[in-house]
Amino acid sequence: MDEDALEYHRTAPPGKIEISTTKPTNTQRDLSFAYSPGVAAPCREIDADAGEAYQYTTKGNLVGVVSNGSAVLGLGDIGAQASKPVMEGKGVLFKRFADIDVFDIELDLDDPDAFVDSVAAMEPTFGGINLEDIAAPDCFTIEEQLRERLSIPVFHDDQHGTAIISGAALLNAVEISGKDLADLEVTFAGAGAAALATARFYVSLGVKRENITMCDIDGILTTQRAESGDLNEYNREFARDLPEGDLADAMEGADVFVGLSAGGIVSQEMVRSMAADPIIFAMANPDPEIGYEAAKDARDDTVIMATGRSDYPNQVNNVLGFPFIFRGALDVRATEINEEMKVAAASALADLAKQDVPDSVVKAYGDQPLQFGPDYIIPKPLDARVLFEVAPAVARAAIDSGAARVDIDIDEYVERLEARLGKSREMMRVVLNKAKSDPKRIALAEGTDETIVRAASQIVERGIAEPVLIGDEDDIRGTIANLGLEFEPDVVDPESGDYEGYADHLYERRKRNGVTRREAASMIRDDTNYFGSVMVDRGDADALLTGLTNHYPSALRPPLQVVGTADDADYAAGVYMLTFKNSVIFVADATVNQAPDEDVLEEVTRHTAELARRFDVEPRAALLSYSDFGSVDNEGTRKPREAARRLREDPAVDFPVDGEMQADTAVVEEMLTGTYDFTDLEKPANVLVFPNLEAGNIGYKLLQRLGGADAIGPMLVGMDEPVHVLQRGDEVKDIVNLAAVATVDAQDEAY
C-alpha cells in the first residue's frame, strides 16, 4: 500500500494538482488581455469596487486550505512541509466533488497570533478559508479570531465536518429508532476539537445540553473537575454535576454513543448497558472504539452503527460536507458559514438518504443494497446528488440568515450546479424543464421490473410525467412495498381487465400479416410490448417506453407493427445525443436501418435536426462518408452526396446541411472554412448522419468510450406516436431521461 501510494504521488508531474488556464491564450491578442495591457481594465474596476473581484477574478471559486501540520490525522504533529500531500489531497476533493479551485497553504507557524495574521493578510485572494489539521486548543482560537477579522467564510473542517455529517446520521437514526432528539441521553468519548464541535452541533439540532455526558481519558467531565482547573476553557462547557466516573459509567443507560477518541475502548458489555435500540457512532480512525460486528452482536435489538471506515455501512465521511457547504457559501458570496447553514447541510443530507439511490452509486459500492434503514442513514460520497441537495440548502440558509451578499433563484442555481458536472446534465435539464411544464401519460411496458418501478417513482417525484406501469398488479405493488417507495402509480394489468377492444385493435392492424383474432387476444394478454403499443396507438397513453428486458430488435418490432411511422415519415431511426465538456452532437442512425439509401439518409437527417431543436440546439448537419465532396465516386459515396443535395435544395430545410464529407471535415472548423470554404457549414456540424448502421453504432461507441462523451439515448425518431426503446442494462436515470424526451415529444402537436 505504501509503495503504491508513493508511486501515485511521485509519478510525473509530482503531486496531485495543477493550475490550468480558463481563457484562450493562442494569439497575441489573447495574451494582451490575460496580462499587460488589457489586465489594467479589471484592475481599475476592482479598485473602484472591491466586490468586482468576484466578477473579474477567480476569488468567487477559490478556497485556501490552510494548515501548520500540527495535528494531521493518524500522523500527529508532522509540521507544515510534511502536511502538504494532505492539503493537496483536500484540494483534490474540493475540485472533484464541487468544482472548487484550491490553493493549499502550509504555514510553518506555531504561534496562533502569527498564524491568524498570515491568513488574514490573504483575504483578498480567497472566497473562503478551510482550516485543516491544526491542534487543539489553538484551532479554537485561530478559527474564532479569523471569523471575527475576515468577511469571507472560515471553516475548520476537523471540527465542523464531523459534526455535520454525524448530525445528519443522528437525525435519521432517531427517526428509525422512534426516539426524540430532546429526550436523548448522549455520551461522548473524547473531548477534543471534533467532539466539542459535534456536541455543540447536536444541541443546535435539538439535543439538550444537560443530556450530554462527555468523557476524556481521565473520565467524565464533571463540574468538580472544572472547578479544580482540570478542564480547559473550551471543554468545561460540557462539564456536568455528576459523580466521578469512567466511560463505562457514562454509557450506562445512554441512547447515543459518540466516539471521537481511540480504537478499542468500548466493550460489548458497555454496549449492552445502553438503552434500548442504541445509536453508536464509533468514529475513531482507523480503528473504531468498538468494531461494527462486535457492536451489532452485543445485543438482540436494533443497533444503529456508524463508523469512519468505508468498509462498513454508514461511513461518517467529511467529504459529504465541506465541498458542498463551501459551494453553497461561495455562490452567494457568504460572509461566514453560520449555524443555520450547518443545520441546513445536515438536514439536506438526512433527507437525501431517504431517496431512491441511483444505480451508478449502487454499482460503485459493489452492488450492496442501499435503502433507507439502520444500515443506510447517510448518503455515499460518490452520490452526485449530494451537490444538488446540500449546496442549494446551504445557499438558501445563507440568504435567509443574512450571511449572503447576493440573492439567487434556487431553481436556477440547481441548474447551474448540474452544468458544472457535465454538458449532458445541462442538456437534459432543458428537456426536463419542458417535460415538467406539461406532463404526459407514459406507458412503461415492463412495469414489473424493479428498475422500471424505481424509475416510475422518480418520474412522479420530479413531475416529469404520469407513468402507467403495465404488468401483474400484485407483483408491481409488492415491488413498490419491498423498495420502500411512497407513490401510487397507475397500474394496468392485461390479465385482469377487459381489453377485448385492444385485441380488436391489434387484429385490425395485423390481420393481413397472418395474425388471427385469437392470436391477437393472446398477444395482448401475454406480451406487454404489444399491449403498450396498442395503448399508445389508441390514445390511452401519450407515449411508450419499452425494451429494458428485451433484445432491441425484439422490443422495436411491436411498436413498428402497431404504431408505425409518422405520416410524413417512411423510416424510423435511433439517435444518440453525445455530450462533451463544451459541445454536443447528435448521431444517427445507430440502431435501426442497416443499409440506408439516399431516401433514408435524407429523412433521418430531417428527423434528427428536429430532435436537436427539442434540446434547444440549432442543427448543423453533415452526412458522413470516407469521401469529401466527390473525391471518391462510387455507389456508397453517392448516397449521402445525393441526400445532402436534396436537403440543400429543399426550401423547407431551414438548417445548414452538407455532404458527403469525412468525419474530421465535419467537426474541424479550419477545414470547413479553409480547404472546403464552399461548404454550407460555416461551423462544425452537430448532427452527424452516418452512412450505415455499422458505422453509426461503432462511431457513437468510440466517441463515448475513447472520447469521454456521455451518451443519452437511443431516441427513436420518425414514429407516428412517441415511442422509445430502452437498452438492456439501462439505469434508472436513463429511463427517467427518455421519459422526459417522450413527454416533450408528446407535447409536440405534430404527433
Domain shared by 611 and 663, yes or no? yes
Domain shared by 192 and 309, yes or no? yes
Confidence check: pLDDT of 115 > 90: yes
pLDDT of residue 429: 83
Of the candidates 292, 316, 340, which is a domain's last residue? 316
pLDDT of residue 688: 97
Kindly indicate the confidence band of residue 361, based on its pLDDT and cuts at 50, 70 and 90.
confident
pLDDT of residue 751: 55
Domain shared by 167 and 304, yes or no? yes
Of the candidates 129, 152, 175, which is a domain's last residue? 152
Range of the domain at 306: 162-316
Kindly indicate the confidence band of residue 16, based on its pLDDT and cuts at 50, 70 and 90.
confident
Confidence check: pLDDT of 489 > 70: yes
Confidence check: pLDDT of 505 > 80: yes
19-60: pLDDT as tens digits: 888 888 888 998 998 898 999 999 999 999 999 999 999 999
Kindly indicate the confidence band of residue 707, based on its pLDDT and cuts at 50, 70 and 90.
confident
Confidence check: pLDDT of 408 > 90: yes
Question: Is position 4 within any domain?
Answer: no
- Are 745 and 751 contacting, i.e. CB atoms less than 8 angstroms apart? yes
What secondary structure does DSSP assign to 96-139, as a single string?
A: HHH--EEEEEE-----HHHHHHHHHTTTTT-SEEEE-S--TTHH
Question: Is position 380 within any domain?
Answer: no
CATH of residue 238's domain is 3.40.50.720
53-95: pLDDT as tens digits: 999 999 999 999 999 999 988 788 999 999 999 999 999 999 9
Domain shared by 123 and 179, yes or no? no
H-helix segments, 421-551: 423-437, 450-461, 473-482, 500-510, 517-526, 528-537
CATH of residue 511's domain is 3.40.50.10950
Question: Is position 140 within any domain?
Answer: yes
Domain shared by 558 and 577, yes or no? no
Question: Is position 748 within any domain?
Answer: no
Kindly indicate the confidence band of residue 568, based on its pLDDT and cuts at 50, 70 and 90.
confident
Give the mean pLDDT of 87-113. 95
Question: Is position 751 within any domain?
Answer: no
Question: Is position 481 within any domain?
Answer: yes
Kindly indicate the confidence band of residue 195, based on its pLDDT and cuts at 50, 70 and 90.
very high
Give the mean pLDDT of 445-456. 95
Domain shared by 70 and 30, yes or no? yes
Give the mean pLDDT of 691-698. 94
Residues that are catalytic: 35, 90
Residue type (1 letter), 558:
P
Give percent above pLDDT 90 in the chain.
76
CATH of residue 691's domain is 3.40.50.10750
Domain shared by 510 and 637, yes or no? no
Q: How far apart are CA 730 and CA 555, in angstroms?
A: 14
Say which residue, 210 or 365, is predicted with more confidence.
210
pLDDT of residue 365: 83
Question: Is position 385 within any domain?
Answer: no
Domain shared by 456 and 556, yes or no? yes
What's the structural domain count of the chain?
4
pLDDT of residue 481: 92
Say which residue, 374 or 568, is predicted with more confidence.
374
Domain shared by 144 and 232, yes or no? no
What secondary structure does DSSP assign to 580-601, as a single string?
A: -SS-EEEEE-SSS-SS--HHHH
Range in 400-404, 454-458, 482-486, 663-667 with the lowest mean pLDDT:
482-486
Say which residue, 328 or 616, is predicted with more confidence.
328
pLDDT of residue 465: 96
pLDDT of residue 359: 82
For 581, the grid coordinates are 465538456
Kindly indicate the confidence band of residue 749, based on its pLDDT and cuts at 50, 70 and 90.
low
Q: How far apart are CA 143 and CA 147, in angstroms?
A: 6
Say which residue, 406 or 711, is predicted with more confidence.
406
pLDDT of residue 10: 85
Confidence check: pLDDT of 435 > 80: yes
Give percent above pLDDT 70 in the chain.
99
CATH of residue 62's domain is 3.40.50.10380
The three-state secondary structure class of 426 is helix
- Each as own residue / partner, the long-range contacts of residues 55-61 (CB below 8 Å, 24 or more positions apart, any chain) are 58/101, 59/124, 59/125, 59/126, 59/127, 60/127, 60/330, 60/331, 60/333, 61/99, 61/100, 61/101, 61/127, 61/330
Task: Calculate the CA 243 to chain-centre distance.
Answer: 49
Confidence check: pLDDT of 364 > 90: no
- Residue from 403, 392, 396 nearest 333 by CA: 403
Question: Is position 412 within any domain?
Answer: no
Kindly indicate the confidence band of residue 436, based on its pLDDT and cuts at 50, 70 and 90.
very high
Give the mean pLDDT of 671-685. 91
Confidence check: pLDDT of 566 > 80: yes
Confidence check: pLDDT of 750 > 70: no
- Residue from 581, 591, 526, 603 nearest 556 by CA: 591
Domain shared by 300 and 175, yes or no? yes
Domain shared by 434 and 553, yes or no? yes
Mean pLDDT of the chain: 92
CB atoms within 10 A of CB 459: 26
Domain shared by 553 and 523, yes or no? yes
Give burial (CB, 10 Å; 0-12/13-18/19+) of 193: buried
